[in-house]
């Protein structure tokens, strides 16, 4: 997404030609920017797959449902956000600060609470490894 003060059609055309998915002209309303970003993320994520599978766990992206061995399970909101974050980033190291920022909505999540939530996800069969002083990684299936 481009945020630009340029309003001529040639600049906008060039932006799309080099890969922009959307643009917003300055000055802009912050709420509009958030709406546009959410729409792009939803479009990007939903166009790829309907399900993400990891070992015996399946996540239905559209319905936001999790199944373990074919049985639907329910997770607390923080664990659900954490699970989705790891499933979207299998094989990528995620810094602790980024994880905490991503999963915190209405409540502050401490590093200790993060470790507790990760341990609960490990019990579901997720192979989450601690990368010392950096963050965590959900290792690819072996």
Residue boundaries of the structural domains of the chain:
2-48, 63-138
- Angstrom distance (rounded) from CA 39 to CA 135: 28
- Angstrom distance (rounded) from CA 92 to CA 139: 8
The CATH number of 63-138, from 1.10.1740.10, 1.10.10.10, 1.10.260.40, 3.90.1300.10, is: 1.10.10.10
pLDDT by residue, tens only, the chain of 142 residues: 888 888 888 887 887 777 777 888 888 888 988 988 888 887 765 555 688 899 999 999 888 899 999 999 999 999 999 999 999 889 899 999 989 988 887 778 899 999 999 999 999 999 999 999 899 999 987 6
Residues 6+ apart with CB under 8 A from 18: none
Tell me the pTM: 0.65
Strands (DSSP E) contained in the chain are 2-4, 23-25, 51-54, 57-60, 65-68, 71-73, 93-95, 128-131, 135-138
Helix/strand/coil for 79 = helix
Residue 24 contacts residue 35 (beta carbons within 8 Å): no
**Residue 69, token pair as written in the block:** 């061995």
Residue 125 contacts residue 55 (beta carbons within 8 Å): yes
């Amino acid at each position: 997404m481009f945020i630009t003060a340029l309003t001529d059609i040639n600049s906008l055309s060039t932006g799309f030609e080099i890969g922009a998915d959307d643009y917003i002209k300055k000055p802009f309303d912050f709420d509009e920017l958030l709406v546009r970003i959410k729409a792009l993320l939803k479009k990007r994520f939903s166009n790829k797959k309907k399900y993400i599978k990891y070992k015996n766990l399946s996540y239905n992206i559209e319905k936001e449902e999790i199944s373990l061995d074919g049985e639907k399970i329910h997770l607390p909101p923080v664990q659900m956000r954490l699970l989705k974050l790891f499933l979207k980033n299998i094989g990528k190291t995620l810094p602790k600060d980024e994880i905490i920022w991503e999963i915190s909505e209405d409540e502050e999540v401490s590093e200790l609470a993060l470790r507790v939530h990760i341990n609960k996800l490990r019990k579901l069969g997720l192979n989450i490894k601690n990368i010392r002083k950096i963050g965590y990684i959900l290792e690819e299936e072996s």
